[in-house]
Amino acid sequence: MSNSGSRTYTVRLELVDRPGELVRALEPIASRGGNLRAISHERGSVTPRGQIPVEVDVEATPEQFETIVEALQETDINVVRAGQERYTEEVVVVLVGDLIGADLSETLAAVQSVSGVSVRDISLTSPHGEASSARLRLATESGGVASTLDTLRRVAGERGLRVVEPLGGERV
């Protein structure tokens, strides 16, 4: 199905070590018109977090590929790299404050406007009677964690939000 606009992309995923994960990861690729060209996994290779790194070569048009990556990111599957972009570090933070009043989506947009930062997922809680909190998982380029946190601190500060940052110097 090599139509004229399609090219080969490499997607690097990190899968949780449990049955069915690979099928779950490949389904969004196939169902959105991607043509699987190769799947590679080095036997015994495990990430420091205990996940299984898998590289998938996909043939697709740029539009198809975009929907594939979105679909993968909607699952909880960890997309480490897709195409040219390479996300190599993740950072989890908790924001505290009036997240609705501060307009969370604007805050996130401001963070993502920094090149190489992507918001992987958000979890929000807003219990009655106390400030709301949001946990963000951000992906940055290698070495980008410090500048990402600087930006986040500034953006959050402008909106009166507290940022609970991870403690460095301790590998999880």
Partner 1 sequence: MNVAVVGVGAVGSAVAELADEHGHTVTALVDSSGAAVDSGGLDVTATLDRKNETGAVGDADPDRLDAVAHDVLVEATPTTLGDAQPGFGHVEAALERDRNVVLANKGPVAERYGDVRALAAESEGEVRFEATVGGAIPVLSTIEDVGPAQITAVRGVLNGTANFILSRMAAEGLAYEHVLAEAQDLGVAETDPSFDVEGTDAALKCVIVANVLADGREYTLADATVEGIRDLPTGALELAAETNRTIRLVGEVQNGAVRVAPRLVPENGAMAVTGTQNIVQFETRHAGSLYHSGRGAGGPETASAIFADINRLDG
Q: Report CA dihedral (162, 166, 169, 171) to the nearest 10 degrees.
A: 180
Residue 21 dihedral angles phi and psi, to the nearest 5°: -65, -40
What 25-32 contacts at long range (C-beta under 8 Å, 24+ apart), as own/partner pairs, is: 25/54, 25/56, 25/72, 25/75, 25/77, 26/56, 28/68, 28/71, 28/72, 28/75, 29/56, 29/58, 29/68, 29/72, 31/71, 32/60, 32/64, 32/67, 32/68, 32/71
Of positions 96, 110, 114, 119, contacts partner 1 by CB under 8 A: 96
Give the range of 13-21, 80-88, 104-112, 125-133 binding partner 1 by CB under 8 A. 125-133
The one segment of 3-11, 25-33, 50-58, 131-139 that binds partner 1 by CB under 8 A? 131-139
Among 30, 123, 142, 154, binds partner 1 (CB under 8 A): 123
- Which listed residue (16, 22, 71, 94) binds partner 1 by CB under 8 A? 94
Name which of residues 151 to 170 contact partner 1 (CB under 8 A). 162, 164-167, 169-170
By CB under 8 A, tell whether 132 contacts partner 1. Answer: yes
**Residue 148 touches partner 1, criterion: CB under 8 A:** no
Residues of the shown chain interacting with partner 1 in the complex, contacts defined by CB under 8 A: 92-94, 96, 123, 125-127, 129-135, 137, 162, 164-167, 169-170, 172
